[in-house]
Amino acid sequence: MHDNIAGESEGRRDGLTSSAYAVLVAGLGCYIGWQTVGISPTLFPAANPASTAVLDVGNNLETAVFLTLLALLGWKAKKGMSLVGCKPLAIAAPLLLFAATTVTYTCGWIYDEPLGTLAGIALEGTKAILFLLWAECLGRVRFRSSLLCVALAYAITFALCLLVTVLEPLAALTVHALMPLLSGAALFTLLRDRSFLAAPPQAFVPESVKSERLPLRLLVGIGIFGAIISVINVLSESKSSSAELYTLYAGLAVSTVTALVAARRVEKFDFGMLYRLTTPLIVGSVIIVLVLESGHQQYEAFAIGVSWSFFRIFSWTLWCSIASRTHSPSAYVFAVGQAALSVFATLAYLFCDGVLPNIHASFTVMVAAVLLVAILNSIFAMSESDVLRFFRRRTTTPRRRMDDEVSPATCVEKAAAEFGLSKREEEIALLVMESKNNAVIQNQLCITESTLRTHLRNIYGKTSVHSRQELIDLLFSYAEEE
């Protein structure tokens, strides 16, 4: 019987079967892969002359459609609508993207019909539908495993991009157009999986500690970081197809390493650890891109790939974590987060196209200005204290007297399920909650002092607390849920 239980545990991840989790990763990777290939300036040859002239207008229309759908569907999700529960929407979303991509390439690359190209690019703004559908699916993954899920999806993304680079142009265009269909097929497979649909969204954090409001300052901070990366990309030297390969190599390496780390340390995952890497990587890429002399495009491209891929993984994981820590639906959180990111990125490109050419500042001043914005964003808009305060909200929950119906064992059991405590750690946490000192715990569990201290360090690390009292307050906060 024990073997059957163990096998069932190994076959599931956060309430999802391993097959459902794999389909989720593959489908999300195909969607992000379609989007990444589409924004690449060098993976495909240039469009025909007349169609090239309307690309900028088409991109502006696409952004407008995208933001409009984000606002509409995000508002619907906020009002209680389940997007994945609407099967016609799930079927239409990939078909619209397939049609949009096919029309764009047929009119702009095979023929030269600018109006058709314009219509196809504008229709690509319907990607907001598929984006929010996958956002709701991610809401069924425990936020501590969302990093692994997103990192694996980005590994698939960059692998698909590298595949496109070795294909003939027509074959590459065909593969790109088919990516939304593959993503849609994965989504439809999940929607037919009863165990997946039965997995309650955002059920891994007790309701008592969820916030009523979104941390808008964190979402704005993500948007500013995205704008900085957009500026870095514009200020770097013009990219060749060979240089962009280094961006893809960097993205594949970063996503693969992140997935390996997440797989090994999923129960020890602290969002603060992920956040602390973001600013140094962005600042480092600014220095590398803007300081290197000409002739080092491959290094610039690699630096951009590292910072951009890690930033995107961080963004998706942040949105997943916010959704799990608030009463807002995942689709609504992702809609607000992506809208902020898109708006700031658009403003950055407008600044680079319309304002930057008229600024006659020295190279040193430009570097200093970009670095200053990044540092100020880290200090004020998205400071580490704000991040940790939001994701460690439990430690500030006031301790209250336990009711007869809520036992310490129940609180510890819930904490163990959320933070992945082992059985021995759960036993120690219960004794700590009962105000037992170390000597009593050692005698009762027949363990040495060094073993006890090791277990306590592991418990502190998993629960992101720093003292015995913080751990006690954390455990008592689960009584609020009852």
pLDDT in tens, 55-110: 989 999 999 999 999 999 999 999 989 898 888 999 999 999 999 999 999 999 99
What is the pLDDT, as a whole number, of residue 295? 58
What is the pLDDT, as a whole number, of residue 43? 73
pLDDT in tens, 361-408: 776 787 788 888 888 888 887 776 666 666 655 444 444 444 445 578
pLDDT in tens, 397-428: 444 444 445 578 888 888 888 788 888 999 99
Q: Which amino acid is at 4?
A: N
What is the pLDDT, as a whole number, of residue 240? 61
Q: Which residues pair with 13 in a beta bridge?
A: 16
Give the list of residues 6+ apart from residue 302 with CB closer than 8 angstroms, or none: 246, 247, 249, 250
Tally DSSP H helices, then E strands, for the chain: 22, 2
Average pLDDT over residues 16-43: 87
Of 137, 154, 243, 139, nearest in space to 190 by CA? 137
Given a cut of 60, whether residue 14 has pLDDT beyond it is: no
420 dihedral zone (left: phi>0; alpha: psi -120 to 50; beta): left
What is the pLDDT, as a whole number, of residue 130? 96
Quote the percentage of the chain above a pLDDT of 90: 33
Name, of 46-50, 114-118, 471-475, the range with top average pLDDT: 114-118
What is the pLDDT, as a whole number, of residue 477? 73
Q: Which residues pair with 12 in a beta bridge?
A: 17
pLDDT in tens, 167-183: 888 898 999 999 999 99
Given a cut of 50, whether residue 4 has pLDDT beyond it is: no
Instruction: Identify which has the larger pLDDT, 161 or 44.
Output: 161
What is the pLDDT, as a whole number, of residue 402? 46
pTM of the model as a whole: 0.78
> What mean pLDDT, rounded, does the chain reach?
82
Average pLDDT over residues 262-267: 67
Distance of CA 347 to the CA centre of its chain: 22
Average pLDDT over residues 236-265: 81
Number of Cα atoms under 13 Å in the Cβ half of residue 453: 3
Given a cut of 90, whether residue 359 has pLDDT beyond it is: no
Which run of H or of E encompasses 13? strand 12-13
Average pLDDT over residues 13-39: 85
Of 468, 287, 264, nearest in space to 374 by CA? 287
Give the list of residues 6+ apart from residue 285 with CB closer than 8 angstroms, or none: 229, 232, 303, 304, 306, 307
Q: Which amino acid is at 477?
A: S
How many residues belong to the chain? Answer: 482
What is the pLDDT, as a whole number, of residue 187? 94
Domains of the chain with CATH codes:
2-202+214-391 (1.20.1250.20), 397-481 (1.10.10.10)
